[in-house]
Structure 1
């Protein structure tokens, strides 16, 4: 299940509710916010918290709040429940007995990096409802502090073996959250990377059950990628595109997987018009190519270049995959997943 992070203070609540409506429409079902903001007056948080909670209840969304013993000095459990909060993310400071009791009334998430076997065994002895327990990773605003991928996946495999669902965060690329505005990923390798590429990596090999956008919004083109994914297609952004029939087609890599290129099994069979040699230049990774008339029976073959190739008078370069979407290519090479293109006017990121 996918979700979003929202701030109670960094933007008007009306903006947040519009964003939540849009994300709910496209399959996002978790809302996460933090109540650990000592610099804020708790009374200023109740109104946006309640409005977001009402939205969550009306739309069947799970509303998680990051809490600590200090937060409970300002908000009682009764106040949180009446505000529409349905889950508590508890990082520290609460005993096992309290957590076991909460699990029978709340969805409860722990810090995925600090859970150990002794803690889980104690919860089982105390009769905790494990169907209401989850493990959530932190997000890391400061560069260089995000988690290592191998350690992350090893821990997630152990957590899932313990019967816990795992959640993690990926960065956004719209309005970034303060105070540093450098992305809020769980994994350091995702900082500055395409949100959709980060999502796909977690989906494919991260051993996670829930993926949340850590920042306050996504760019329009990234959102189009998530919408296309919900429709079963990977959307690649393209710049420098020359006119071609391939941009409107849905493609699949051939099952006989090539080393150097992704070969569309759909393009050549549907096109018979002449293709004159044009822009026969070097082919870097991400180049989009169409074989011209000089390639005889291969005329009309459409490829995405994986490994740099030299210029060839038989091959026209008709565009380039956006730099941010290059990490998607290994997935397309091996998964057989359908893909299509979004032609943009810029020159890549």
Structure 2
């Protein structure tokens, strides 16, 4: 089951602001919140109480807390990895180990009587998870998540992300990764140029980020790393990531007709399994709209990302919907009715044949 989450930073914000954000996120179906307790500065009791208050409120609106900690914090708080009751008393549902132990400790922690989930770090690319699994953890209480990266150019490459994610997926563990909100300014550290897992996502709209994850289908939960995301971003994540089908955002040409817009926006499209290297074909629209007219209007040189509808000049293919994957010559048979948003054209490389998808304007 896929879930969506947000992040808050009680040590650097006010309870009122966090409460407002948690309430809004709950409205859109968010069920996880990430909180960073990597270091406690100042009065430990005061900081712990701030977290406890935020966690209790999150619980009251149906949002479970994953608390990010590191081994050094265990000593600072006087907590032993063999007794995690402190975190249960805080109200947390899971603790995330920002830095791991040897594998044996993590496995031992999954046996905790408080039934806290133990979330391990996915991003290192070592044999770490193999060490954990060799120590026979309770898999019901072992989950995993990638890091986020505040520093520009420091996020994961696509290749490394795929490699490390596969290491965890082979054990069928529940996984998570982070996207970044455009206007979010709050994170755990002073330096912050967005809080994403994948470097290529850093300055992309949140809809493009989430659609990339949905198409890859290798991560379970998606969390917004920085606070505070705008309401429209929360809505986009809820609808785009939890929705039934991947959404491709498009812009129509000025000449696109009402009928063509209806064909594009009101249908669930299906990528034909007998794939072409030149286009994604959604053929059922030519069946449903076979009695409609599609006069030729805007044809021309076709490039990757163009949205096409076969026109009346194309015989039995009239009404078929296509997305260009390569440049194609203009033979007058295809109306160019729109285009995938430029920053999202790369998503076409992740749409698999036989997949269903939809367009949004």
TM-score (norm 2): 0.76
Maintained 8 Å contact 2:210/2:237: no
Mapped to 2, the partners of 1:118 and 1:294 lie a distance apart of: 59
Shift of 1:39: 5.5
Cross-structure match for 1:267: 285
Mapped to 2, the partners of 1:68 and 1:268 lie a distance apart of: 57
Maintained 8 Å contact 2:213/2:219: yes
- Is 1:81 equivalent to 2:88 in the alignment? yes
Mapped to 1, the partners of 2:195 and 2:38 lie a distance apart of: 16
Structure 1, 112-121 or 266-275: larger mean CA deviation? 112-121
Mapped to 2, the partners of 1:279 and 1:111 lie a distance apart of: 51
Maintained 8 Å contact 2:157/2:198: yes
Cross-structure match for 2:272: 254
Shift of 1:153: 3.3
Cross-structure match for 1:236: 248
Shift of 1:81: 3.0
Aligned CA RMSD, in angstroms, stands at 3.6
1:181-260 maps to which residues of 2 (within 5 A)? 181-203=192-214, 205=216, 207-216=218-227, 217=229, 220=232, 223-224=235-236, 226-241=238-253, 242-244=256-258, 245-246=262-263, 247-260=265-278
Maintained 8 Å contact 1:195/1:222: no
Give the aligned length.
Answer: 339
Cross-structure match for 2:119: 109
Maintained 8 Å contact 2:28/2:234: no
Deviation by residue 1:207-263 (Cα, 9 ceiling, x = unmatched): 444332223326726843641553412222222443432233332233432321222
Mapped to 1, the partners of 2:234 and 2:345 lie a distance apart of: 14
Deviation by residue 1:165-220 (Cα, 9 ceiling, x = unmatched): 44332333442545444222223333334544444544554744433222332672
Closer, same or farther in 2 for the Cα pair 1:42/1:281, shift >3 Å?
Answer: farther
Aligned counterpart for 1:150 among listed residues 152, 159, 166: 159
Unaligned runs of 5+ in 2: none
What secondary structure is seen at the aligned counterpart in 2 of 1:167? strand
Cross-structure match for 2:300: 281
TM-score (norm 1): 0.78
Mapped to 1, the partners of 2:105 and 2:317 lie a distance apart of: 68
Maintained 8 Å contact 1:288/1:320: yes
Shift of 1:111: 2.7
Unaligned runs of 5+ in 1: 344-349
Maintained 8 Å contact 1:30/1:61: yes
Mapped to 2, the partners of 1:166 and 1:238 lie a distance apart of: 30
Maintained 8 Å contact 2:210/2:240: no
